[in-house]
Amino acid sequence: MKKIISVVLMMVMLVMPLSGCGNQGATSSAEATAENPMILTLSHGLSETHSVHIAMTEFAKMVEERTNGRIQVKIYPNGQLGNETESMEQLMAGVISMTKISAPGLATYNEAYHTFGLPYIFNNTEDFYKVMESDDMRKFFQSTEEDGFVTLTYYTSGARSFYTKDRPIRTPEDLKGLKIRVQDMKSQTDMLQALGGIPVAMSYGDVYTSLQTGIIDGTENNETALTIGKHGEICKYYSFDQHAMIPDVMVMSAKVWNNISEADQKIILEAAYESTDSHKEVWEKSITDAVEEAKSTMGVEFVYDVDKEAFRNGTSGMVEQYRKTYPGVDRLLSLISSVQSKEE
């Protein structure tokens, strides 16, 4: 694996020479000008039509405009520079400046990020937004410089629920014996085992064929996967257990961040926060459209009478185990609880 990563890094360096921790031109914002800008490379694996890519494009535009062209963000979508893991490796190695990654993927570098993969951490969508945009959470996002990165902002990816080919999932007992695809994350595998299902970790691109051939009986994701991923052609029951809200996050190399002046850091953060706000509106519409399309053209039945408390109870022991195993998780869960208590 190390050899593969090394080859990837070498190829990126040869094909697209990037110097100064993923920058071309000026290596700091203090010396950057419109004629010799500081260029920040941003890698992600999404298509240009994805709502997160659109939000990051708006972010790049705002940064360039508000710095009068002194700082420019150059986006490489569609996995041009590798998948999430590879892009993060490149960021840590100083080859690129920024990337988008599913938040639990950062647990490799900071154990607290396991928290975002745990079930029922947030009460509902409104609670999720308030916690993620709180001053306490933003301070946490900025606290990981020693780990080699800082998180600029998050993008919602909705609530994840179970959906299956031939039966609704109303209680954990309904998962018994079912092979369910989960993301290749420890928290997701542990969650499904706690609920009595059989976790099958695989890439998103393999899900449709695996459902079709019977390798798996179902999967879990937000509603857009039914339409964009065409999973609704096979899975006819979508059960709103809403067990997790796993955000995507936009991160920057700490080395690059420290080469940006405090004034320019503020501009970048404000642009990042505004891109999150614009993305929320687009995302909520995409969910509404996906549900309507899945109902009307795919015959998917949406199941709302789910015993969420049973799912919450079924995974509570797992969450407590993570608190004991990972001190960073315990601290972040305490932070989240503190923010939630302030809202009441």
What is the reported pLDDT for 181?
97
Q: What is the DSSP string of 236-265?
A: -EEEEEEEE---EEEEEEHHHHTTS-HHHH
Q: Can you give the pTM of this predicted structure?
A: 0.89
Per-residue model confidence as pLDDT tens digits over 87-131: 999 999 989 999 999 999 999 999 999 999 999 999 999 999 999
pLDDT band at residue 63, thresholds of 50, 70 and 90?
very high
The CATH class of the 2-106+144-155+248-285 domain is alpha beta
What is the reported pLDDT for 163?
98
> 160-245+294-343 maps to which CATH number?
3.40.190.170
Question: Using CA atoms, how far apart are residues 114 and 121, in angstroms rounded to an integer?
Answer: 11
First-to-last alpha carbon distance for the chain, in angstroms, is 48
pLDDT band at residue 49, thresholds of 50, 70 and 90?
confident
Q: Give the residue range(s) of CATH 3.40.190.170 domains in the chain.
A: 2-106+144-155+248-285, 160-245+294-343
Q: Is the pLDDT of residue 15 over 60?
A: no
Please state the φ and ψ torsions of residue 235, each to the nearest 5 degrees.
-90, 125
Amino acid at 149: F
Q: Is the pLDDT of residue 3 over 50?
A: no
What does DSSP assign to residue 152?
A: E
Question: Using CA atoms, how far apart are residues 150 and 130, in angstroms rounded to an integer?
Answer: 20
What is the reported pLDDT for 344?
55
58 in helix, strand or coil?
Answer: helix
Question: Using CA atoms, how far apart are residues 278 and 52, in angstroms rounded to an integer?
Answer: 10
33 in helix, strand or coil?
Answer: coil
Per-residue model confidence as pLDDT tens digits over 168-201: 999 999 999 999 999 988 999 999 999 999 999 9
- Owner of token pair 């780990």: 147
Q: Is the pLDDT of residue 229 over 50?
A: yes
